[in-house]
């Protein structure tokens, strides 16, 4: 018997040990898993406009390849693949990870249509990639904005407010210094030269690219002394340039001599290197030579051999002076959902992006819905203010730079402060969109895929916001 409370406390801390199951083999079998109706993915599946999304992507699925007879062959179960695509963008999963989760996670299976799709199966990771590649960048942008529009229909977002800001998506490329680019050009040249020697050994056996010498000259550029002078840096870079120039021009001449028909006999990845060499090799050598001689960079100088839509940005950030990629124009509506404007150029100048964003908002939510607009100083122009007022916006909070004397925005001090503070709220949302996707730095390897990954990141953010809002709304109803 325990006489006092201390003894009872001691008794509750005593834990016995059971060795049941230790050393036994695991037996494969069927396990039933119950997914509760309040599970976030169940709530999201009930809230999404599946039919509208299906109609949106149908043309892309039919016209994926020229001459594709989409009505023949094994059927593509769109409900499964569309659900998997949505989950991928919500949680930033790779194709292989998504395949594993679909085979292992009951909630994921339910979200992707298990129980409602005939002959349901978990697709292979290659088929997940193929489905995603069928969708054009513009279609993925429309999907991202559709989720925000659907949030307004659900009553968890407010389209009468709009805050606009821009962000930079970094491309999948290394930092483009001349030493790195010249070293890369030498590597491409060596790869092409080796392939040509295998293609016609009797004629081009003497074709030689000394990669060891190129690497040695590149190391002299990479590992210079801390306080090296400009002359010393230019001298090392000139040596590397001279080392790369001669074999590069020689291999380019041989490629043109062979012709396209002969070069197409090479492996596909080698042929891509041949295209990079022919299209950009001489141009880059000329641009880098001008930089070595004058110290000034051409405006049209390339930053990458495998990407075309890349620009240089300097936003004055302390941790990174220059960023290389493209700009996305984003708009936040009430309820913290984001819409994205079409990327027509890599720079997407702020002043020129206000009217397209207002037009995009009008297409999504209708006319005379927007009542309040806020931007930072980079968007200020009289033309933008007039365009906003013409669309019937009552509060136009486009911040004016300090040097503007006659500001045409007529707001009280309290209204200005409220709109300026509200606009600042889009900054953390952009951070969240970058954290959960590829809006910060893309993993894709071509321009179209990089643009698509940025749009899809916005869609993933809107989906996570929808889950959170719908869950709160359901809990309030239950209470």
List pLDDT tens digits, range 175-198.
999 999 999 999 999 999 999 998
Backbone angles phi, psi at 160, to 5 degrees: -80, -10
Query: What rounded mean pLDDT belongs to the chain?
Result: 91
By CB atoms closer than 10 A (0-12, 13-18, 19+), residue 56 is middle
CATH class of the 137-173+310-478 domain in this structure: alpha beta
- Say if residues 453 and 325 touch (Cβ distance below 8 Å): no
Span 351-370, average pLDDT? 95
How far apart, in Å, are the Cα atoms of 455 and each of 112, 123, 209, 336?
A: 22, 24, 42, 17
Q: Within 10 Å of residue 292's Cβ, how many Cβ atoms?
A: 15
Are the CB atoms for 343 and 326 separated by under 8 Å?
yes
Give the confidence band of 4 by pLDDT, cuts at 50, 70, 90.
low
The one-character DSSP state at 312 is E
Span 431-465, pLDDT tens digits? 999 988 899 999 999 999 999 999 999 999 999 99
Please enumerate in sequence order all residues whose Cβ is within 8 A of that of 397, keeping only pairs 6 or more positions apart, or say none.
Answer: 372, 373, 374, 375, 409, 411, 415, 416, 419, 420, 422, 423
List the one residue out of 127, 107, 88 whose CA is nearest residue 457: 88
39-63 confidence digits (pLDDT tens):
999 999 999 999 999 999 999 999 8
* Angle (CA) 182 186 187, round 5°: 120
Question: Per DSSP, what are the bridge partners of residue 334?
Answer: 158
Q: DSSP string of 140-182?
A: HHHHHHHHHHHHHHHTS-EEEEEEEEEEEEEPSS----HHHHH
How would you label 191-219 residue by residue, b for 16+ Cβ within 10 Å and e otherwise? bbbebbbeeeeeebeebebebeebeebbe
pLDDT tens digits, 284-313: 999 999 999 998 888 889 999 999 999 999
8 A C-beta contact, residue 145 and residue 339: yes
**Cα–Cα distance for residue pair 151/159, rounded to 1 Å:** 10
Compute CA distances 57 → 51, 199, 447, 454, whole Å.
10, 43, 21, 18
Per-residue pLDDT band at 98 (split at 50, 70, 90): very high
Domain ranges of the chain: 40-65+74-134, 137-173+310-478, 178-294
Q: Closest by alpha carbon to 388, among 341, 420, 421, 356?
A: 356
The residue among 253, 263, 345, 341 whose CA lies nearest residue 308 is 345
Cα–Cα distance between 396 and 408 in angstroms, integer? 10
Q: What is the pLDDT of residue 251?
A: 94
| Lowest pLDDT segment from 22-26, 342-346, 350-354 | 22-26
- Is residue 248 within 8 Å of residue 281, measured between CB atoms? yes
Q: Sorting pLDDT into bands at 50, 70 and 90, what band is 360? A: very high
Q: Which residues contact 390 (CB under 8 A, 6 or more apart)?
A: none
| DSSP state, residue 323 | E
**For residue 8, what pLDDT is reported?**
53
Q: Do residues 180 and 174 make contact, with C-beta atoms less than 8 angstroms apart? A: yes
Lowest-confidence pick of 1-5, 77-81, 216-220: 1-5
Q: Cα(421)–Cα(419) distance, rounded to whole angstroms?
A: 5
Pairwise CA distance, residues 140 & 1, whole Å: 71
> Which CA distances in Å does 267 have to 148, 197, 263?
44, 13, 9
Output the pLDDT for position 16.
84
Contact 310/322 with Cβ under 8 angstroms?
A: no
Question: Among 479, 469, 429, 440, which residue's Cα sits nearest to residue 155?
Answer: 469
Query: Is the pLDDT at 3 greater than 80, yes or no?
Result: no
């Amino acid at each position: 018997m325990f006489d006092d409370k201390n003894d009872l406390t001691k008794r509750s801390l005593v834990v016995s040990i059971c060795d049941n199951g230790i050393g036994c083999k695991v037996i494969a079998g069927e396990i039933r898993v119950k997914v509760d109706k309040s599970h976030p993915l169940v709530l999201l599946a009930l809230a999404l406009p599946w039919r509208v999304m299906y109609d949106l992507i149908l043309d892309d699925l039919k016209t994926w390849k020229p001459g594709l007879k989409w009505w023949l062959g094994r059927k593509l179960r769109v409900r499964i693949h569309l659900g998997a695509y949505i989950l991928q963008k919500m949680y930033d999963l790779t194709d292989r990870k998504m395949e594993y989760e679909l085979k292992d996670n009951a909630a994921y299976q339910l979200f992707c249509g298990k129980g409602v799709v005939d002959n349901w199966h978990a697709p292979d990771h290659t088929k997940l990639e193929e489905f995603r590649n069928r969708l054009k960048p513009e279609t993925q942008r429309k999907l991202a904005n559709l989720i925000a529009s659907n949030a307004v229909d659900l009553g968890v977002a407010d389209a009468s407010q709009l805050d606009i800001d821009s962000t930079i998506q970094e491309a999948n490329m290394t930092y483009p210094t001349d030493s790195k680019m010249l070293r890369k050009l030498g590597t491409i040249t060596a790869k092409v030269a080796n392939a040509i020697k295998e293609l016609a050994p009797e004629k081009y056996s003497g074709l030689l690219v000394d990669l060891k010498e190129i690497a040695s000259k590149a190391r002299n550029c990479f590992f210079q002394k801390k306080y090296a002078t400009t002359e010393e840096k230019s001298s090392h870079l000139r040596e590397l340039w001279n080392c790369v120039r001669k074999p590069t021009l020689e291999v380019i001449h041989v490629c043109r001599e062979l012709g396209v028909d002969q070069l197409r006999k090479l492996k596909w990845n080698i042929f891509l290197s041949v295209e990079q060499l022919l299209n950009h090799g001489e141009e880059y050598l000329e641009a880098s030579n001008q930089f070595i001689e004058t110290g000034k960079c051409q405006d049209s100088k390339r930053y990458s051999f495998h990407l075309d839509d890349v620009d240089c940005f300097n936003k004055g950030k302390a941790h990174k002076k220059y960023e290389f990629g493209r700009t996305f124009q984003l708009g936040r509506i009430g309820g913290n959902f984001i819409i994205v404007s079409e990327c027509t150029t890599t720079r997407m100048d702020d002043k020129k992006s206000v009217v397209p964003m207002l037009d995009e908002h009008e297409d999504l939510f209708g006319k005379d819905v927007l009542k309040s607009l806020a931007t930072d100083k980079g968007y200020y122009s009289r033309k933008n203010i007039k365009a906003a007022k013409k669309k019937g916006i009552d509060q136009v909070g486009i911040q004016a730079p300090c040097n503007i004397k006659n500001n045409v925005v007529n707001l009280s001090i309290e209204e200005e402060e409220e709109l300026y503070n509200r606009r600042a709220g889009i900054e953390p949302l952009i951070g969240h969109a970058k954290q959960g996707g590829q809006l910060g730095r893309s993993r894709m390897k071509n321009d179209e895929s990089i643009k698509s990954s940025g749009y899809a990141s916005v869609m993933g953010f809107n989906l996570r916001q929808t889950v959170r809002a719908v869950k709160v709304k359901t809990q309030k109803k239950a209470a």
